[in-house]
Structure 1
Amino acid sequence: MTSTPRILVIRHGALGDIVLSFPAFAAIRAAHPAAEISLLTTKPFAAWLEAAPWFDRVMIDPKPGPLDLAGLRRLRRALGGFAMVYDLQTSGRSSRYFRLAGRPPWSGIASGCAFPHADPARDRTHTRERIEGQLEAARIPLPLPLPDLSWTLAAPPIPLPERFVALIPGAAPHRPEKRWPAENFGALAAGLDLPSVVLGTASEAPLAAAIAARAPRTLDLTGRTTIPQLAGTLARASLAIGNDTGPMHLAAALGVRSVVLFGGASDPALTAPRAPDGGWPAILRRPDLAALAVADVAAAAQDGHNDASSPP
């Protein structure tokens, strides 16, 4: 009797990293239709990704420290017995798991692995193409499939306007340089023809309040959506405008017309959201994001075009 092969996918990261990996997840499932596929990820995304069609099991990586011997033993047991591992995280930590797992067939950058991604330009390549190259080296057929995202669409927590613009004024708390000023979002919202719905975490409620002070039709949903409700809200938007942060990756992946604002702290050629066809949303970038004029964002919102070339 032949046992079912067990496959492991490793992917941590922020929300945007997870979203950029969706086509890879779909490709791995297509390549191993009869396998039992597990995902090793971090706690914030585990419950959400349990609903995804690509995995039979989702495990939370406890990330034990080097002196946590009991934790390392537990993780070693969890990593054992896989016929193939796709390390899409390709970090120093995840690469160390190669030996902890007993050196199984492995796709990644761990020294001595069976399917190394040895492209010298990998660190200068957009996440989507970098993962694509890694999977090609692991004999996954290209192009990567267009993933079905219907599994992650939940109804918004409250009724929404028939047409609206989704605004994403937040970003990682430790990266304030990635945030366009809230008063600029407010001025933008005040000049839009449609009402705005502000999305983000509960800690970003002051940003929503600042926007609503300038644009009274604004609806504040900060801290009120799960990830599926966030996706369901974005999918209903006529347009999404926001900083370089996870919800903008969701908006673009859902095919929502999007304008993404980048400062000098991150490079859209490496990390920009991608549309379902692999293309780029409208990208506006300034070395100092605060210097990006409201009029420039309003123009991009009007016609969906960049003020400069899209990332290569």
Structure 2
Amino acid sequence: MSSSAPSPRRILVVKLGAFGDFVVALAAMKAIRQTHADAHLTLLTTPPFVGLAEASGLFDAVRGDGRPSGFAGQVRLALDLRRARFDRVYDLQRNDRTRLFFHVLRFGRPGLEWSGIFPGATFYIADPREPRRHAAVRYADQLRVAGITVPPYPDLGFLHGDLTPLPPLPERFVLLVPGGAPQRPAKRAPVATYVSLARHCLGQGLTPVLVGTDKEADVLDAIALAVPEALSLRGRTDFGQLASLARRAAGAVGNDTGPMHLVAVAGCPSVVLFSAESDPVENRPWADQVVTLQRPHLRDLPADEVAAALDGVVRG
């Protein structure tokens, strides 16, 4: 694009989810904001991430209606976005849903600039599956084509939560995140692994603090029953509180699940457990104090190995 071309004034950023990927994408979003400091930025996302996006201060407007049901609903949304007359779109979702947006928004509007993976985009980049690389690398490569440099890691310095409604926190504690998406049980390490780990923490003078949602009550309650000295915060932490807990914790251990991305990026030294269901090369939390352990089946990952990895990150 010519250097004399006008700067875009109305910009759409598309990032619908999922949780961990949204946290990773915050670095790219920040780079877009810094590059277009005077533009009006709108984020299209989904309801779970509206509050996080608003708290970031990166956007002038946040829409949470980015994933309507059915093809007709997707077309209606695409037409509504078209009426907004954006000058440029940064597509960080990069899937069939945004392919529809790409065609509808650009029809009859050759001047609409698009950053993404679809041929014909103004700032086009191919997205081959090989070599394997992290989503953060993909975003950085994509934005580099548009002349934008992405910082090495996401920054959650804006995210804080009030811990006073929670039970008093021990002086030294470790976060345990034993849950995960219920539809993907193979991504969860066995309860016995976390029970063993919780007892190990107590032996090291660290109180295990259990975090997760009520949807993970079976796992969290089983650990709390087996280790009564643990502090369970099941269903009691929002994103801000989880970030604040992460900054106070000596370390964290969890499965490959969204909250572990937030915990690690908030600055907590973390151990993340991977099965064959996901790939740490592509999906590990994007932070500089992360150790990953992987087995095809997490039942085959010895609890002693997890404990040793946690001891290592706690020591720094």
> Aligned partners of 1:74, 1:135: CA distance in 2, in Å?
25
1:107-160 deviation per Cα after TM superposition (whole angstroms, max 9, x unaligned): 1112311111125356722111011101111221x2526554232111223131
Task: Say if 2:84 is the partner of 1:78.
Answer: no
Question: Does residue 270 of structure 2 align to residue 258 of structure 1?
Answer: yes
Q: How does 1:73-222 map to 2 (within 5 A)?
A: 73-79=76-82, 80-102=84-106, 104-121=112-129, 124-140=132-148, 142-144=149-151, 146-156=153-163, 157-158=165-166, 159-192=168-201, 193=204, 194-222=206-234
* 1:225 CA displacement: 1.4
Contact 1:272 1:280 in 2 (8 A): no
Which deviates more from structure 2 when the two are superposed, residues 99-108 or residues 244-253? 99-108
**What is the CA–CA distance in structure 1 between the aligned matches of 2:38 and 2:12, rounded to whole Å?**
14
* 5+ residue gaps, structure 2: 1-5
Moved >3 Å (runs of 4+): 119-123, 145-148
Moved more, 74-83 or 28-37: 74-83
Percent identity of equivalent pairs: 43
Stretch deviating more after TM superposition (226-235 or 128-137): 226-235
Amino acid at match of 2:141: G
Structure 1 runs not aligned, ≥5 long = 306-312
Q: Output one character per residue of 1:208-246: Cα deviation in whole Å (capped at 9) or x when no partner.
A: 221122322111111111111222222221101000011
Work out whether residues 240 and 259 of structure 1, in 8 Å CA contact, stay in contact via their aligned partners in 2: yes
Normalising by structure 2, what TM-score?
0.88
For residues 171 and 231 of structure 2, the distance between their equivalents in structure 1, rounded to whole angstroms, comes to 13
Q: CA deviation at 1:266?
A: 0.8
Q: What is the SS of the residue equivalent to 1:206? A: helix
2:70 corresponds, among 65, 69, 79, to: 65
Structure 1 Cα separation of the partners of residues 313 and 154 of structure 2: 24
How far apart in 2 are the matches of 1:205 and 1:218? 15
> What is the aligned length?
298
Structure 1 Cα separation of the partners of residues 130 and 80 of structure 2? 31
Partners of 2:18 and 2:77 in 1: CA distance = 25
**SS of structure 1 residue aligned to 2:56:** coil
Q: 1:290 to 1:110 in 2, by over 3 A?
A: same
Is 1:22 the counterpart of 2:26? The answer is: yes
Aligned partners of 2:68 and 2:127: how far apart in 1?
27
User: Which residue identity is paired with 1:137?
Assistant: V
Larger displacement relative to structure 2 (54-63 or 126-135): 54-63
Tell me the TM-score normalized by structure 1: 0.89
Change (3 A) 1:255 1:28: same
